[in-house]
């Protein structure tokens, strides 16, 4: 993603848009810039630059994601109704209902009058509702937030910390859930240095000192890889390196006792080939050249992640016993891996009208569920309790578990076979008695891992789930269903004890 740099101009934005959409109406983009410049006249940011430069930086990040002109224009205008005398009606009159609708959505996500936990809850609630109504609004908000994070040095440290923490806790996980890997990584890295400054410096230093010596080695491996793939008859290949994001590296270090030698994808090699068949051919060539590490081959093409991510991953012993991870994908898979749901808008919008609806229904059902929950729960205490469960469902690291037929079930990390059973069907959850994981009988509280194949054994005569399951289930759906059925079962039992109910 080629984002904004210091001194980015509207001409840079237009040039970027024209590079992927030759038919884009540049006069409309210029008009939006003039409108924003006039509306924000006399306003300056804490950095001292004219406010409109923030609007340009936001638009440039969106253009760097190859998004359509309507979103670029909304990016330029996103702060107008909230911070100037110009209204949404003015925007609609000049730029049409689609742009005005997106700007209205961003305005609703605007300033919050709450503090502490209240602020956090309200922010999450607004993000969930905005996603359910028009996910483009959240994509523009990410671009806006990213530029704010890049200029945090200009604001008081306490405020900078709050903005960074909110970004790390809310914006980055939602970007990840939407498959926007690059945006997630950028938001995390920009926030990390303000939330955990010492850990940031330590991780960056470790990555620099460890990675410095490997750059030359990796360049040689990439050159050799391209050579062996071309020699095998593969054409139109791209091979390039990918350094790990700093915050992502920090989290992996914590999981591996801070030992960087146990992290195999510090510098991954990406291979981009024209077709799916070429992906598997490339994998075969790499395994024919170097020895793969056992258990490190992942086929996300045959079984994509629920957020749409597809690739082949393999980790191999290269020259001198060095361990290198390869990620193999087509250009289309690469677009989805980098931009996630935003990739749906990277084509001609008319072609997308039909396709995006199908994709969205499949990829983002959880958004609608969250929005419904926001509408249903008005009691504050009940909402905070439900929010904790939502955070586990939505923000926790995800695992991808399979049914015996090969269907992928997306669950929070450390979910149990009971969570899996409820994810398939409520009745299967209610009546499950035992589970097989990878063909071995296991307890119902057994923590599942990505790649596990799970089979649930049910007892059709079972009346209700076991209330003890509440001590280990992870998903909100399983927890609420067990509570509901347990209460119903208890009421039936009490009713049975009452006089006159014994025949």
Contact 279, 273 (CB under 8 A): yes
Q: How far apart are CA 121 and CA 379, in angstroms?
A: 13
**Residue 334, helix vs strand vs coil:** helix
**Residue 306, helix vs strand vs coil:** coil
Chain-centroid distance, C-alpha 55: 24
Q: How many Cβ atoms are within 10 Å of 5's Cβ, its own excluded?
A: 10
Q: Is 82 a catalytic residue?
A: yes
From the candidates 83, 90, 230, 389, which is the catalytic residue? Answer: 83
Contact 432, 457 (CB under 8 A): yes
Q: How far apart are CA 63 and CA 19, in angstroms?
A: 10
Q: How far apart are CA 171 and CA 165, in angstroms?
A: 10
Residues 6+ apart with CB under 8 A from 418: 429, 432, 444, 445, 465, 469, 472, 473, 478
Q: How far apart are CA 350 and CA 308, in angstroms?
A: 22
**Residue 12, helix vs strand vs coil:** helix
Q: How far apart are CA 456 and CA 494, in angstroms?
A: 31
List strand residue ranges (DSSP E) for 407-491, in order.
Answer: 408-412, 432-437, 440-442, 454-458
Q: Is 389 a catalytic residue?
A: no
Q: How many Cβ atoms are within 10 Å of 64's Cβ, its own excluded?
A: 18
Q: How far apart are CA 202 and CA 89, in angstroms?
A: 50
Structure tokens at 370: 């969250």
From the candidates 82, 238, 397, 407, which is the catalytic residue? Answer: 82
Residues 6+ apart with CB under 8 A from 74: 99, 102, 103, 106, 136, 140
Q: How far apart are CA 387 and CA 106, in angstroms?
A: 22
Cα four-point dihedral sign 311, 315, 319, 320: positive
Paired residues of 270 in beta bridges? 240, 327
Which DSSP category does 446 fall into? P
Contact 450, 346 (CB under 8 A): no
Cite the active site residues: 82-83
């Amino acid at each position: 993603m080629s984002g904004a740099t210091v001194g980015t101009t509207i001409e840079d934005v237009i040039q970027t848009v024209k590079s992927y959409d030759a038919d884009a109406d540049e006069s409309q983009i210029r008009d939006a810039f003039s409108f924003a410049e006039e509306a924000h006249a006399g306003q300056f940011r804490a950095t001292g630059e004219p406010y409109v430069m923030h609007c340009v930086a936001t638009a440039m990040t969106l253009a760097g994601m190859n998004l359509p002109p309507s979103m670029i224009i909304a990016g330029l205008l996103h702060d107008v109704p909230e911070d100037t005398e110009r209204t949404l009606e003015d925007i609609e009159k000049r730029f049409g209902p689609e742009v005005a609708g997106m700007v209205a959505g961003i305005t609703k996500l605007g300033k919050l009058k709450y503090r502490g936990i209240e602020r956090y809850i309200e922010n999450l609630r607004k993000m969930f509702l905005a996603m359910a109504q028009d996910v483009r609004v959240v994509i523009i908000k990410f671009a806006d937030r990213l530029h704010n994070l890049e200029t945090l040095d200009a604001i008081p440290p306490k405020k900078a910390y709050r903005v960074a923490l909110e970004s790390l806790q809310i914006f980055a996980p939602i970007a990840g859930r939407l498959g926007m890997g690059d945006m997630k990584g950028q938001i995390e890295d920009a926030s990390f240095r303000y939330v955990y400054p010492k850990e940031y410096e330590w991780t960056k230093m470790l990555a620099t000192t460890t990675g410095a010596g490997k750059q030359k080695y990796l360049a040689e491996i990439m050159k050799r890889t391209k050579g062996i793939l071309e020699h095998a008859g593969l054409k139109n290949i791209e091979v390039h390196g990918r350094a790990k994001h700093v915050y992502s590296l920090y989290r992996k270090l914590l999981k591996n006792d801070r030992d960087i030698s146990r992290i195999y994808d510090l510098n991954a090699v990406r291979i981009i080939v024209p077709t799916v068949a070429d992906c598997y051919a490339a994998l075969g060539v790499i395994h024919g050249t170097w020895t793969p590490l056992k258990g490190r081959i992942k086929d996300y093409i045959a079984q994509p992640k629920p957020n749409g991510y597809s690739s082949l991953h393999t980790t191999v012993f290269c020259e001198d016993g060095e361990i290198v991870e390869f990620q193999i994908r087509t250009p289309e898979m690469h677009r989805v891996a980098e931009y996630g749901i935003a990739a749906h808008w990277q084509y001609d919008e008319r072609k997308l009208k039909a396709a995006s609806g199908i994709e969205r229904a499949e990829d983002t059902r959880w958004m609608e569920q969250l929005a419904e929950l926001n509408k249903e729960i008005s009691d504050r205490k009940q909402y905070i309790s439900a929010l904790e469960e939502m955070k586990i469902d939505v923000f926790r690291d995800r695992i991808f578990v399979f049914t015996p037929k090969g269907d992928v079930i997306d669950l929070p990390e450390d979910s149990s076979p009971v969570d899996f059973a409820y994810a398939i069907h409520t009745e299967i959850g209610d009546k499950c008695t035992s589970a097989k994981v990878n063909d071995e009988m296991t307890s119902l509280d057994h923590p599942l891992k990505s790649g596990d194949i799970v089979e649930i054994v049910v007892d059709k005569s079972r009346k209700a789930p076991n209330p003890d399951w509440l001590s280990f289930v992870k998903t909100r759906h399983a927890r609420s269903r067990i509570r509901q059925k347990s209460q119903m079962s208890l009421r039936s039992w009490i009713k049975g004890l009452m006089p006159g109910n014994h025949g």
